[in-house]
Amino acid sequence: MNSMFELHNLLPAIITIAKEYLGVKRISLMLIEDDYLKMYAHAGFEVDQSSVNIRLGEGVAGKVAKTGIEVTANKSDIVKEVLGYQASSFMSVPLKKGDKVLGVLNLTDKEDDFFTEEDVKIARYIASQCALGVDRFNLYSDMRKSENLRVIGMLNSSIAHDIKNLLNIVQSYLELMALEKDIKPEMQEYIDAIHSEVKRIHGLTMDILDFSRQRVSMAIETFPLAELFDEIRKHANIMTRDTAISVEVSVSDDIIMTVDRGKIFRVIFNLVSNAIDALSVSGKVTLSAVKDGEYCVIRVKDTGKGISSDNRKKLFQPFFTSGKAKGTGLGLAIVKMIVEAHCGTIDVDSEEGVFTEFTVRIPYDYESVKELHRQR
Ligand SMILES: Nc1ncnc2c1ncn2[C@@H]1O[C@H](COP(=O)(O)OP(=O)(O)OP(=O)(O)O)[C@@H](O)[C@H]1O
Ligand SMILES: [Mg+2]
């Protein structure tokens, strides 16, 4: 059992065997995720939605999960009092790794009416083995995540250097083109556009490098936020060209930022790209910015598919992607890292099928806020 890493196959298999072995009518195994106990495997009954997620501390299983203290009730009147419904006997055993409770094993209605001491011992043993399996699975998942980061790190250091060299060559050719006589004004416009995109790819390479080293290098400059929003608007218009998606941008001209322009561009660009992806063919994306004390509050809202509360918890984790054919799941992890490096915060609000809104708070003047943070 402890060599199996597929928890979703392992737990139902254990539950089925334990149900037969202990001779109970109903059995369930629930694991703790954040503040909830979630049903992972069950046998002998249909699950109704209200019992899939139980808040820690609520109901018998919720209390066992919170306190780590096992509950056994062998008389039907006591069971009714404890459970709130009729059953001959009941047992709820915590899954523990050291002092940490990982979940709960629930057994209801023993066929001979009550649990013997032997049954209790067996149930404890099954719970302890499940806990071991769950703990190993968690350890394995963490290892996979850090292994991914390690591979990205290796990949980056070997290719980032090559990308930079190649970009330098492109840049040199662009400069040569700009020296040509009789360049039409449109051609000059195209050359400028390629120039700025090349700079952007360079910045993106640096972001990914920063990400793999978990360190952000900053290049601070002062500029009007309206200028940056204008660039985003142009990109968004290109991305939504063949769709019925409208992109509305509102920002006042007096918001002047002193931050890493390239990085903040990528923050907003990532959020707007995700918003457009969430709409697929029609709907509205709104990008806005307002002042709030020494902070600037930037909001990106879309009328798209929304994000489930389960997914909302994982959004900023590296490699979390869902519902996309080509997502790498690094976008929001990088966004968060950049925002926090600017002493800012990012929050998300969403209703499935209705809307999603990301709110970024960053200081206008990163240098002065950084100084304040340092003094504190
Ligand atoms: N505005 C949004 N509406 C609905 N879901 C969203 C929104 N923004 C993010 N998500 C969800 O969060 C996931 C993670 O986003 P993230 O930007 O980190 O990765 P990605 O877009 O999948 O890949 P990439 O690395 O290419 O950006 C997305 O796959 C999507 O499921
Ligand atoms: Mg993305």
Q: What confidence tens digit (pLDDT) does each residue in 276-305 have? A: 999 988 999 999 999 999 999 999 999 999
Return the residue whose CA atom lies nearest to atom 14 of ligand 1: 321
Return the residue whose CA atom lies nearest to atom 17 of ligand 1: 331
**Which positions of the chain have pLDDT values less than 50?**
1-4
Res 375: pLDDT: 64
- Which neighbouring-strand residues pair with 95? 103
Look at residues 227, 234, 204, 213 and name the one whose alpha carbon lies nearest to residue 335: 204
3-state class of 375 per DSSP? helix
DSSP code for 365: B
Cite the beta strand spans of 225-263 per DSSP E: 244-250, 256-260
Return the residue whose CA atom lies nearest to atom 5 of ligand 1: 307
Tokens at 364, concatenated: 């206008």
Tokens at 84, concatenated: 């709130």
DSSP code for 291: E
Of the ligands numbered here, which is closest to the C-alpha atom of 285?
A: 1
Which atom in ligand 1 lies closest to the alpha carbon of residue 329?
19
> What does the alpha-carbon distance between residue 372 and residue 340 come to, in Å, rounded to a whole number?
15
Res 376: pLDDT: 60
Res 241: pLDDT: 82
Return the residue whose CA atom lies nearest to atom 26 of ligand 1: 327
> What does the alpha-carbon distance between residue 285 and residue 303 come to, in Å, rounded to a whole number?
7
Q: Residue 27: phi, psi to the nearest 5?
A: -150, 145
Res 373: pLDDT: 67
Res 5: pLDDT: 54
| 324 alpha carbon – ligand 1 mean position (Å) | 8
Report all structural domains of the chain as residue ranges with CATH numbers, in order of start: 7-143 (3.30.450.40), 145-213 (1.10.287.130), 220-375 (3.30.565.10)
> What does the alpha-carbon distance between residue 178 and residue 193 come to, in Å, rounded to a whole number?
12
In the block, tokens 């090559």 appear at 162
Which atom in ligand 1 lies closest to the alpha carbon of residue 327?
23
Return the residue whose CA atom lies nearest to atom 30 of ligand 1: 322
Ligand 1 pocket (Cβ < 6 Å) reads 270, 274-275, 278, 302, 304-305, 307, 315, 320-324, 327-333, 356
3-state class of 354 per DSSP? coil
| 321 alpha carbon – ligand 1 mean position (Å) | 6
Distances (CA, A) of 322 to 47, 151, 235, 319, 328: 26, 21, 24, 10, 9
Which atom in ligand 1 lies closest to the alpha carbon of residue 333?
18
Residues 6+ apart with CB under 8 A from 316: 332, 333, 335, 336, 346
Distances (CA, A) of 24 to 10, 37, 86, 116, 131: 20, 22, 15, 12, 21
| 271 alpha carbon – ligand 2 mean position (Å) | 7
Half-sphere exposure of 180 (CA within 13 A, CB side): 12
Positive or negative: CA dihedral 238, 240, 245, 249: negative
173-178 long-range contacts, CB within 8 A, separation 24+? 174/198
Contact, 330 vs 315, CB < 8 A?
no
